[in-house]
A and B are shown apart, each in its own frame.
Chain A
Amino acid sequence: MTKTWARYAGQMAAYAAFIALLGYFATAPAYRPVDPEAAMIKLSFIHVGQRKVECRKMSPEEIALLPPNMRLTLDCPRERLPVLVELELDGKLLLRRELVASGLSRDRASSIYHKFVVAPGRHVVSARLRDSARREGFDYTRSTDIELKPRQNFVVDFRAEAGGFSFH
C-alpha cells in the first residue's frame, strides 16, 4: 500500500515539475528586444525610380514593323534609375543609400526597410530622395521637428503620389 502511494506521489511530483517548466517558460523571463528607454525611427518605402532612358516617339515606319497587336507610339525602355535616399538626424547623416530597382530587368520598384534605435527627446529628422537622372540635389526633401518618447516608433515613409515623404 505504502509503495503504491509512493508511486502516486512520484507521478504527482513528475507532473508538477513538468507543468512548472511549461508554465514558467511559456511567458518568462520577459524578453526585451529593444531598450524600453529608447525610441525607434523606421525608414521604409517602395518607390519606382524614373526611367533610365526617356521614352522616344516612334516613327510610322518603326510602328509598321511591329506586330499589329503590339503597336505603340512610344518606345519606352524598361530599366529604372536607382533611387538615392538620405536620412539625417539632428544634422548627422544616419543613412545614405542607392537603392537599385528590383526585377531581372531592373524595371520594378526600389525598396528599403531600415530601422534606427535613437535616444528619446527632441530631434530634427530630415529625409531626401532622388529618383531622377540629376547629378546634384534631390527631387524630394522633407524635414520635421519631433519629440520622441521612449519606445515610440517614428516611421518615415515615401509616396510620390501623396507629394513625397510622410512622417508617422
Chain B
Amino acid sequence: MLKQIHQAGPWLLARIEKLYSAAFTPAWNPFYHLGALTVFFFWVVVVSGIYVFLFFETSVTHAYESVEWLTHTQWYLGGVMRSLHRYASDAAVVTIGVHMLKEFVTGRYRGARWFSWFTGIPLLWMVFPLGITGYWLVWDQLAQYVAIATSELLDVLPIFSDPMARNFLTNESVSDRFFTLMAFLHLIGFPIFLLFGIWLHLLRISRPTVNPPLGLMIGSLAALTVLSLLWPALSQAPADFSQEATGIGFDWFYLLAYPLLDFGSPALMWLVLVGSSTLLCLLPWLPPRRRSPAAVVSLPDCNGCGRCVADCPYNAVSLAPRTDGMAYAEEAVVYAELCTACGICAGACPTATPLRRRSELVPGIDLPGLPIRSLRDWTLAAAVQPGGEPGASVLVYGCASGVNLAALRSSSVAVVELQCIAQLPPAFIDFVISRRHADGVFLLGCRECDCHFRFGVQWMDERLAGKRDPYLRARVPRERVATYWGGLVTETEIAGEINAFRARLHALGPYQPVPATQATDEVAP
C-alpha cells in the first residue's frame, strides 16, 4: 500500500505542480513554498489579530458586542482585519495539510528527515487549539457549541475534579475569569508554543525558507483581502445557553473532528486524535528501512575548505579543528544521524575530480554507497557506446528521484544515475567532454525549486554559472552541456529534450579540445 502511494503520489503531484509552475513559474509555485506560506499566514494572523484585539473586550457581556462593532461599524478596516484573521488561519490549515501530504507521498519524511516530520506533529496540536480558542472568544452560537463540546471532551480526561462543562450550563454560570483564561491561551499561550515549535521543526535543516517569494506573499494577501471584502467573516447569533446551538455555520478546517464527539463519544474522539497523531509520529519508521550509509570524510584528502559544509542541506557536516597534524586549520566532520546520503557534499568537494592523475580517486568527503570512484568507473563504462551516431553521443547524469533513467538508454545515449544531481562534481562534465567520452552532457534533475534534497538543482545551476564552488571550468563549451529540471515527467518528454540536444550537438560537429597549455587538470587535495 505504502509502496503504491510512494509510486503514484509523486507522479500525480508532479502533474499538478507542473500546472502551477506554468501559471506561477517554478520560483513562485505555491507547492514549493508550502511551509513558508504557512509561516506567512501565521504572521498575517498575528498582525490582524493584534488589530482586532485592540477593540476586543475580554468579558462575557461585551465580547460579542465589541466584535460586532468592529465587524459592522468599522467594516473597512476592523471587519477586513477580522476576516483576514479567520481566512489566513484557515489558509494555514490548508497549506499545512498539503505540506504534510506532499512530504509523505514523496517520501521526504524518512531516514534522517524523521526529525522535521516528527516535530511537525506536535505543531498540529498547537495550531488547532489556537484556532478553536479563537472561535470561543467571539461568543456567538459557534462559540457556545465549541465551549460546551470542548469542555465535554476535556472532561473525559482525569485532570479536572469537577466537570468543566458545568461552566456553560446557563447564561449566568459563565464567568469572566474563564473567558480571560481562554483569551490568554489564544493570545499568548498557544502562539508562544507555536513559535517554539516552528523553531524546533526547522532546527535540522540548513537555510530554512521561512518567507515565501514576495510575489507569492502579495498574491496570497491580495486574494485573502478580496475574500474578506466579498465574503466577510461574520458572527452568528449571540451565545444563549438556554437554547442548544444547532444549524451553525461551521469552520470545517478547524472543527472537522468535532462530529466524532457528537455522533460518537468524547472517548472515541480522543482515540482518533491520539491514535492518528501517534501513527503519524511513527510513520518515518513504518516499516523500518535500512538507511543508506552516511557520507564519510577521508582526512588525508580533506583540506578543510568548507564547501561541503556550505552545500549540505541538512547541517550534517561541520568544520572542526584539525586532528591529524596536517597543515590545514580545520577538517570536515559528518554527523551521520543527520546525513540523508544525498552526496551533495561529495559533489562540492574540490578533490572529487576524475581528472586527477592518481592511482585511486578518493575525495575529501564521499558516499560509501555511491563513491565518486564508482561514478568515474560508471562514466567510463557508460561512455563506451559502439555503433552510436557519430558527433551526437550524449551522457546523461540523472538523479534517482526522477524518471526511470534506464528507459532513456540507446546506442547514442548513455546514462549514469546519481543520488542527487549536485552529487556530480562539475569536473566530471569537463572530463566527459574534454576526454571525448561523449559529445555532450545532459543533466537531469528534480523540478526547479523542488529538489528532493532541497538544494541540488540550485547548487548545480550555480556551479555551471560559475557562481558557486566548485565551478565548471571556463574551457568547457557550454553549448555541449544541457540541463533539464523536469522531475517526474514522462520518459517520452525527456527523450524529446535529449533528441533536440543531440541535434544541436550534431550541428556543432566534433569537439575541438582546448590546447594542453591552457588546461590544468590536476587539482591539489
> Which residues of A are in contact with B by a Cβ distance under 8 Å?
7, 9-11, 13-16, 18-19, 21-23, 25-36, 39-40, 42, 44, 46, 102-103, 108-109, 111-113, 151-153, 155, 157, 168
- B493 interface residue, CB < 8 Å from A? no
Bound-state CA distance A32–B23 (Å) is 40
Q: Which residues of B contact A31 (CB under 8 A)?
A: 145, 246-250, 255, 258-259
- B241 interface residue, CB < 8 Å from A? yes
Q: Which residues of B contact A157 (CB under 8 A)?
A: 169
Does A34 lie within 8 Å of B223, measured CB to CB?
Answer: no
Bound-state CA distance A15–B217 (Å) is 12
* Residue in chain B with minimal CB distance to A37: B246
Does B161 lie within 8 Å of A111, measured CB to CB?
Answer: yes
- Among candidates B19, B242, B262, residue contacting A34 with C-beta atoms closer than 8 Å: B262
Q: Which residues of B contact A33 (CB under 8 A)?
A: 145, 149, 244-246, 248, 258-259, 262
Does A111 lie within 8 Å of B251, measured CB to CB?
Answer: no
Does B251 lie within 8 Å of A10, measured CB to CB?
Answer: no
Does A46 lie within 8 Å of B90, measured CB to CB?
Answer: no
- Among candidates A14, A29, A40, A46, residue contacting B20 with C-beta atoms closer than 8 Å: A14
Q: Which residues of A contact B223 (CB under 8 A)?
A: 15-16, 18-19
Bound-state CA distance A113–B156 (Å) is 11
* Residue in chain A with minimal CB distance to B245: A33
Number of contacting residues on B, CB 8 A? 50
Does B166 lie within 8 Å of A30, measured CB to CB?
Answer: no
Does B246 lie within 8 Å of A32, measured CB to CB?
Answer: yes
Does B250 lie within 8 Å of A29, measured CB to CB?
Answer: yes
- B226 interface residue, CB < 8 Å from A? yes
**A-facing residues in B391-412 (Cβ within 8 Å):** none
What would 6 A/B residue contacts be, using CB atoms closer than 8 Å? A10-B19, A36-B246, A46-B162, A151-B244, A155-B169, A168-B242
* Cβ of A166 to closest chain B Cβ, rounded Å: 10
Bound-state CA distance A153–B23 (Å) is 53
Does B169 lie within 8 Å of A42, measured CB to CB?
Answer: yes
Does A30 lie within 8 Å of B165, measured CB to CB?
Answer: no
Q: Which residues of A contact B242 (CB under 8 A)?
A: 152-153, 168
B-side binding surface: helix, strand, loop or mixed? helix
Does B23 lie within 8 Å of A35, measured CB to CB?
Answer: no
Q: Which residues of B contact A28 (CB under 8 A)?
A: 249-250
* Cβ of A22 to closest chain B Cβ, rounded Å: 5
Q: Which residues of A contact B90 (CB under 8 A)?
A: 22, 25-26
* Cβ of B31 to closest chain A Cβ, rounded Å: 10
Looking at A21, A39, A44, the one whose CB has the most chain B CB atoms below 10 A away is A44
Which 6 pairs from chain A and chain B are nearest by CB? A10-B23, A113-B163, A27-B249, A31-B250, A19-B227, A15-B223
13 extra A-B contacts, CB within 8 A, seeds A23-B87, A30-B247, A111-B161: A7-B25, A10-B24, A14-B20, A15-B220, A18-B91, A21-B94, A25-B90, A29-B250, A30-B249, A44-B169, A109-B162, A152-B242, A157-B169
- Among candidates A13, A19, A35, A155, residue contacting B224 with C-beta atoms closer than 8 Å: A19
Flag B237-277 by CB within 8 Å of A: 1 or 0 each: 00001111111111111010011001000000000000000
Bound-state CA distance A148–B149 (Å) is 22
**A-facing residues in B206-228 (Cβ within 8 Å):** 219-220, 222-224, 226-227
Does B226 lie within 8 Å of A19, measured CB to CB?
Answer: yes
Q: Which residues of A contact B19 (CB under 8 A)?
A: 10
Q: Which residues of B contact A29 (CB under 8 A)?
A: 250
* Residue in chain A with minimal CB distance to B249: A27
Does B23 lie within 8 Å of A113, measured CB to CB?
Answer: no
Does A112 lie within 8 Å of B249, measured CB to CB?
Answer: no
Bound-state CA distance A46–B161 (Å) is 10
- B110 interface residue, CB < 8 Å from A? no
Q: Tell me whether A22 and B170 are in contact in the complex, defined as CB-CB below 8 angstroms, given that A30-B250, A34-B246, A34-B262 are known contacts.
A: no
* Residue in chain B with minimal CB distance to A111: B162
Flag B23-65 by CB within 8 Å of A: 1 or 0 each: 1110000100000000000000000000000000000000000
- B155 interface residue, CB < 8 Å from A? yes
Bound-state CA distance A103–B162 (Å) is 11
Bound-state CA distance A128–B90 (Å) is 47
* Cβ of A117 to closest chain B Cβ, rounded Å: 9
Bound-state CA distance A79–B340 (Å) is 60
Q: Which residues of A contact B30 (CB under 8 A)?
A: 14
Does A11 lie within 8 Å of B162, measured CB to CB?
Answer: no
Bound-state CA distance A151–B240 (Å) is 11
